[in-house]
């Protein structure tokens, strides 16, 4: 298992680095970022999943999470959001294809050969992180933004026991009910509504999937709030299921990384206390 280091820089006493490896899951070279806090480790791992059009650099560069991660002794892992490359299917729209992997394994042409993001993040990449970095893989948590918030919620619900805690910024909570998901899920998974529901956080909760608690932050000046995000659906699903949801609505904040940067410290502390 060869991991190539693309860049490495000292950061808050630790190290921010970017890497690639040949993924058996996607059949492509996949990139990811790692922030390693100061010290010898092993460190608990916080997975940070980014949204549509983003890559492995976006959260690392824009969220401003490293200073507190260094203080708390958290390793941050930022995977790319899809397979990429000339031989990889794509779509002209920014909300499908490369940069829009939706953290699932596609079953449909032309996506199925390479779009295996769930297998990569759940099955393969943890082995890479555990083998090449001072990580304690018995202590993992997950967070994400927008499509990455969807990924964090769904991966935690689909893999109970893997993550000690889960949180999200402006997540897509019910992709089967909103345009982004209604476009992506049939394209990646085909015509069966049960396959879509298996990648919809609200539907998973309604179907009995559980996490102990959730932290979600949502800006009220978010242009995607009403059409694509609809956090009230998650509030209703969690209330019906008895899941302790902390849903914080913030006046004046939009969908972007200025919003994430403003509250990311609360998420790191939330995970740090549970790791």
Ligand X SMILES: N[C@@H](CCC(=O)N[C@@H](CSC=O)C(=O)NCC(=O)O)C(=O)O
Residues designated catalytic: 146, 222, 255
* Residues 219-248 as x/- pattern, contact with ligand X by CB under 6 A: ------------------------------
> Which H or E element spans position 168?
strand 166-169
In the bound state with ligand X, the residue whose beta carbon lies nearer, of 61 and 240, is 61
* Residues 166-185 as x/- pattern, contact with ligand X by CB under 6 A: --------------------
Q: How far is the CB of 145 from ligand X (least distance, A)?
A: 6
Assess 146 for contact with ligand X (CB under 6 A): yes
Assess 51 for contact with ligand X (CB under 6 A): yes
Q: Which stretch binds ligand X (CB under 6 A): 83-91, 116-124, 213-221, 251-259?
A: 251-259
Kindly identify the residues of this chain, within the stretch 54-73, that bind ligand X according to CB under 6 A: 54, 58, 62
- Judged by CB under 6 A, the residue of 27, 42, 53, 159 near ligand X is 53
CA neighbor of 232 nearest in space, from 177, 190, 271, 269: 177
The DSSP output letter for 171 is -
Assess 147 for contact with ligand X (CB under 6 A): yes
Contacts 24+ apart (CB under 8 A), 41-44: 41/75, 41/133, 41/134, 41/135, 41/136, 42/134, 42/135, 42/136, 43/73, 43/74, 43/75, 43/134, 43/135, 43/136, 44/73, 44/74, 44/75, 44/135, 44/136, 44/139, 44/140, 44/141, 44/272, 44/275
Q: Give the residue closest to ligand X by C-beta.
A: 51
Q: Which residues contact ligand X (rule: CB under 6 A)? A: 51-54, 58, 62, 94, 145-147, 255-257
């Amino acid at each position: 298992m060869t991991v190539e280091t693309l860049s490495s820089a000292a950061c808050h006493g630790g190290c921010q680095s970017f890497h690639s490896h040949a993924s058996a899951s996607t059949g492509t070279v996949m990139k990811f970022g790692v922030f390693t806090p100061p010290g010898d480790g092993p460190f608990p791992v916080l997975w940070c999943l980014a949204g549509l059009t983003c890559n492995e650099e976006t959260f690392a560069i824009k969220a401003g999470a490293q200073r507190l991660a260094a203080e708390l002794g958290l390793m941050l892992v930022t995977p790319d959001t899809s397979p990429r490359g000339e031989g990889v299917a794509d779509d002209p729209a920014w909300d499908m294809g490369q940069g829009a992997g939706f953290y699932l394994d596609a079953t449909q042409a032309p996506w199925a050969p390479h779009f295996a993001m769930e297998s990569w993040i759940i099955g393969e990449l943890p082995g890479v992180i555990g083998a090449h970095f001072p990580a304690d893989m018995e202590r993992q948590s997950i967070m994400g933004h927008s499509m990455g918030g969807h990924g964090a919620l769904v991966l935690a619900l689909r893999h109970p026991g893997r993550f000690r805690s889960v949180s999200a910024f402006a997540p897509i909570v019910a992709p089967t009910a909103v345009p982004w998901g209604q476009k992506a899920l049939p394209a990646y998974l085909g015509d069966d509504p049960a396959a879509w529901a298996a990648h919809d956080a609200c539907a998973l909760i309604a179907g009995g999937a559980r996490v102990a608690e959730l932290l979600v932050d949502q800006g009220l000046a978010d242009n995607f709030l009403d059409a694509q995000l609809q956090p009230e659906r998650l509030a209703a699903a969690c209330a019906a299921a008895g899941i302790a949801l902390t849903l914080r609505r913030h006046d004046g904040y939009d969908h972007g990384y200025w919003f994430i940067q403003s509250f990311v410290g609360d998420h790191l502390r939330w995970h740090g206390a549970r790791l």
